[in-house]
Amino acid sequence: MTSTDVFPIVASARQVCGRNRILIGLIDAQNRSIAAPDRALDVSFFDLGRDLEQPAATASAAFVWAIEGSRGLYVVNVDLDESGTWGAEVRTAASGEAPVTTRVGFTVYETGITKRVGDAAPASKTPTAADVSGDLSKLSSDSDPDPRLYQTSVDAALAAHEPFLLVFATPKFCTSAVCGPTLDKVKPFIDEFPSVTFINVEPYELEWDGTQLQPVITDDALTPVAAVNDWGLLTEPWVFVVDSGGTIRGSFEGTIGEAELRAALEAAS
């Protein structure tokens, strides 16, 4: 495999000055994902407006399944200190292969709109099972909803000073195709962290048509719920972990790894 066969993709929506959790995908010339647990990936980040030769930061990325056994991404946490045009030089090698180096450009913005680690969590009023008399089929598009995800509204958790995990995910209407898998990754942690309140919010307006939930379409597009705007989301799914003081301790776009999720929950508990 050569550099002409490997194409990195910056899959996270928006990079801003400061600490970033960047998602990187790898595809081949046939547009097939080649990211895999046995393929290592290291990244050098270049501020192209400042220095084309010396990297501003380097990091090793961790592989995470987006859809178990089918599609994965690499997660890298890095500080990017200046807005403008940046480049990522990716060095990757699968087991038994020679390393390949290739590049991808991206933009770093001065600021973003999505709530970040260290920010105060917005007191969004989010739907609960009580709003639908306990009938979760009228609240969640999950084919196997866990009732514990629909007991508490975000504003109520904040008022009660409860640490909580908030996952914006819609298994049936997800535009990224990974909402269901991400929600399934979250569910096992409910038993592991009994002191944490877990909340799932459908990111789009849904209405009951008499037999099932259907999305509300506005201008030929799905209509985001108010909480999506409160939290400044650009994509879905998204997971936030908030401590008892209402401070965001974890912010995870798209897919999430068990280790990073557990670390955030431990920090918030």
Kindly tell me if the per-residue pLDDT of 118 is higher than 90: yes
Enumerate domains of the chain plus CATH numbers. Answer: 3-109 (2.60.40.10), 129-268 (3.40.30.10)
What is the average per-residue pLDDT within 192-205?
98
Measured distance CA(141)–CA(163) in Å, rounded? 25
Measured distance CA(106)–CA(18) in Å, rounded? 15
What is the average per-residue pLDDT within 242-252?
98
Kindly tell me if the per-residue pLDDT of 3 is higher than 90: no
pLDDT the model gives residue 1:
63
Kindly tell me if the per-residue pLDDT of 4 is higher than 80: no
State the Cα angle at 260 between 177 and 125, rounded to 5°: 65
The two beta strands, 15-16 and 100-109, are parallel
Closest by Cα among 114, 208, 201 to 152:
201
pLDDT the model gives residue 96:
84
Kindly tell me if the per-residue pLDDT of 111 is higher than 90: yes
Kindly tell me if the per-residue pLDDT of 235 is higher than 90: yes
Kindly tell me if the per-residue pLDDT of 2 is higher than 80: no
Please answer whether residues 250 and 261 qualify as being in contact, where contact means their C-beta atoms are separated by less than 8 angstroms: yes
Kindly tell me if the per-residue pLDDT of 108 is higher than 90: yes
Q: Return mean pLDDT, the chain.
A: 96
Percentage of the chain lying above the pLDDT 70 cut: 99
pLDDT the model gives residue 229:
98
Kindly tell me if the per-residue pLDDT of 182 is higher than 80: yes
What pTM was computed for the model?
0.96
Whole-number CA gyration radius for the chain? 19
Task: Please report the DSSP string for 199-216 in residue order.
Answer: EEE-SB-EEE-SSSEEEP
Give, in order, the Cα–Cα distances in Å from 72 to each of 23, 26, 151, 179, 257.
10, 9, 32, 14, 11
The tokens of 202 are what? 């459908």
Note the pLDDT tens digit of each residue in 56-97. 999 999 999 999 999 999 999 999 999 999 999 999 999 888
The two beta strands, 197-201 and 164-168, are parallel
| Span of 43-47, 67-71, 179-183 with lowest mean pLDDT | 67-71
Burial class (CB in 10 A: 0-12, 13-18, 19+), 128: middle
